[in-house]
Amino acid sequence: MSMDNQNMEQEPKQLERAAQEKIGAIEAEESRAYFSRELLIWYDRSKRDLPWRRHRDPYFIWVSEIMLQQTRVDTVIPYFNRFIERFPTIQDLAEAPQEDVVKMWEGLGYYSRARNLQAAAQQIVELHGGQMPSEREHVFALKGVGPYTAGAILSIAFNQPEPAVDGNVMRVLSRYFLIEDDIAKPKTRVAMEKMIPALIPEGRASDFNQALMELGALICTPKSPHCLICPVMEHCRGRIEGMERELPIKTKAKKPRPEQRLAVLLEGSGEREGRVLVRRRPKTGLLASMWELPHIAVGGEDLGLDVVQLEELLEDRGLTWSPMSPYMTAEHTFSHIHWTMRVLIAHEEPEALALLAAESGVPYETAVPEAIGMEEEAASGEAGAGVGENAEEWRWISREDMQSIAFPNLFLNILNRYFEGDQA
């Protein structure tokens, strides 16, 4: 066959491919335009009335987005309202004692979010006169603000066409555009971030990003998407291909490491009657600076040996107590650790040491002082009486003291159960 004949045969095929590519591009463009149009129509009609949506205040939007990380909207609303009432401006948040900020966050978990939020507020006061910056590089420079949060602030508060890609958004995009890449991989998130600006209609960045999040939260849900009422179902390629329940593709995260813990709920006696002993965690690391029951990590194979270790912790502080007995078992999962906490209960018995001292003729001394001055603070509503040389790390607290110091959820639940049962 001559070269001329070969070229004549190839030419129609090339034209056909070019035509198909053009048709495909037109269909893709129509699909994108349809998605953006119908999504906004639905959002304008159906959006939820949320407290941070009632104002375009960048501070409110920022606080809400930090709270909403790993937390459901219904859970966040009362926390948001209390937080804004206590810290109505960035300046108020920046100047507050950190313990007050963490206390207002108590129950939301992931407490580094609260500490980073305050650190960023202090940055804003120092560098931007207390006003949230609207420049991309300045928002990204704030403590605890990553690509998603920065995009949410810039788009929702300042209507800038920036992507805000979270789990809800990745799920919607994966299904609608039939994206089969693993959303757990950073490159997939980056690719989706690059898609978003072309989808945002001019002047509607704020509403579009909120609509995308809303669709993922209410309709395009993880396990049971409500396709029949979805505003963009007609062109959703995942639904058309019958893959809506298989998408998005996501590799399973590593299971949290299990840890066995043994804690003691030590009840006070005498002047400390009605109080229990707690300690403060280190200023860095997991649950930094929060309060907890004294506890230790244990192997869990021999309860007798585990109890001995826990008793040594108390003995080091000059404490004596009645025999320990089981109180309850509680569990809590962090992002990388799962705690199973066995809690024992005992009653302080300082008279036992005094009796031993009398029998031996050695003056009675204890590392649990009467805390001169600290008892007065406790009586006046401060955070309880000091224990040991470092009164900041160990305290006897009452139910009332729990209103002013912050506990992780695990210990908050244990102590609430104890004090509520005591009052019953």
Catalytic positions are 65
Q: Which residues of 27-50 are buried (b: 16+ CB within 10 A; e: fewer)?
A: eeeebbeebbebbbebbeeeeeee
Q: What is the DSSP string of 45-100?
A: HH----GGGSS--HHHHHHHHHHHTTS-HHHHHHHHHHHHHHS-SHHHHHHS-HHH
Tokens 């204890």 -> residue: 366
Compute the residue count for the chain: 424
Q: Taking a C-beta distance cutoff of 8 angstroms, is the pair 35, 232 a contact?
A: yes
Q: Which of 163, 195, 200, 202 is nearest to 179 (CA)?
A: 195
- Residue 50 is given by DSSP the state -
The Cα 410–Cα 328 span in angstroms is 12
The Cα 370–Cα 355 span in angstroms is 18
